[in-house]
């Protein structure tokens, strides 16, 4: 589900990718509609860097992101599978196994969430 990024979304993106100066996807030319895809595809250099960027988020930011994923507002469709694994492990470690399993179940039930 496409959305317009809120102030909180932009704050989270800039916290995890301080070098983010614009909110336009260089590939599509359109505005970012999620946080995790641009973080994975435009700012993180690899899955390990993606994990380090997630570590910059506090638990409230992470709970917010998980809520967006679960309600369909945050897309994981174009996040590489190894980055999704990093995200799920990170959620498991910080918020618990139930939160990570909820995301996994949500993604498996939606077309394109996990490749």
Query: Is residue 101 included in any domain, yes or no?
Result: yes
Task: Please name the residues in contact with 48: beta carbons below 8 A apart, sequence gap of 6 or more.
Answer: 86
Asked if residue 114 is part of any domain, the answer here is no
The pTM of this model reads: 0.87
Q: State the pLDDT at residue 112.
A: 41
What residue numbers bound the domain in which 71 lies?
A: 7-109
Number of domains in the chain: 1
Closest to 35 in 3D by CA, of 56, 60, 17: 17
Is 110's pLDDT higher than 60?
A: no
Query: For 74, left (φ over 0), alpha (ψ -120 to 50), or beta?
Result: beta
In a domain, 35, yes or no: yes
Helices (H), the chain: 7-16, 36-38, 47-54, 59-70, 81-95, 97-109
Instruction: Tell me if 1 is assigned to some domain.
Output: no
What average pLDDT is seen over the chain?
A: 87
In this structure, the number of other CB atoms found within 10 A of the CB of residue 90 comes to: 17
Residue 28 counted as domain residue: yes
Q: Does some domain include residue 61?
A: yes
Instruction: Report if residue 23 sits inside a domain.
Output: yes
Interacting residues of 83 by C-beta distance below 8 A, sequence separation 6+: 36, 40, 44, 47, 50
pLDDT tens string 74-100? 988 889 999 999 999 999 999 999 999
pLDDT in tens, 24-62: 666 665 667 899 999 999 999 999 999 999 999 999 999
Assigned domain for 89 exists: yes
């Amino acid at each position: 589900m496409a959305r317009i990024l809120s102030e909180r979304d932009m704050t989270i993106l800039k916290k995890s990718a301080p070098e983010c100066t614009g909110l336009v996807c260089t590939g599509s030319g359109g505005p970012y509609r999620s946080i995790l895809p641009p973080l994975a595809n435009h700012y993180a250099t690899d899955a390990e860097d993606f994990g380090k960027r997630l570590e910059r988020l506090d638990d409230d930011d992470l709970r917010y992101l998980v809520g967006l994923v679960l309600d369909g507002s945050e897309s994981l469709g174009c996040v590489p599978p190894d980055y999704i694994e990093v995200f799920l492990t990170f959620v498991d470690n910080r918020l618990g196994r139930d939160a990570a399993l909820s995301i996994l179940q949500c993604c498996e039930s939606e077309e394109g969430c996990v490749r």
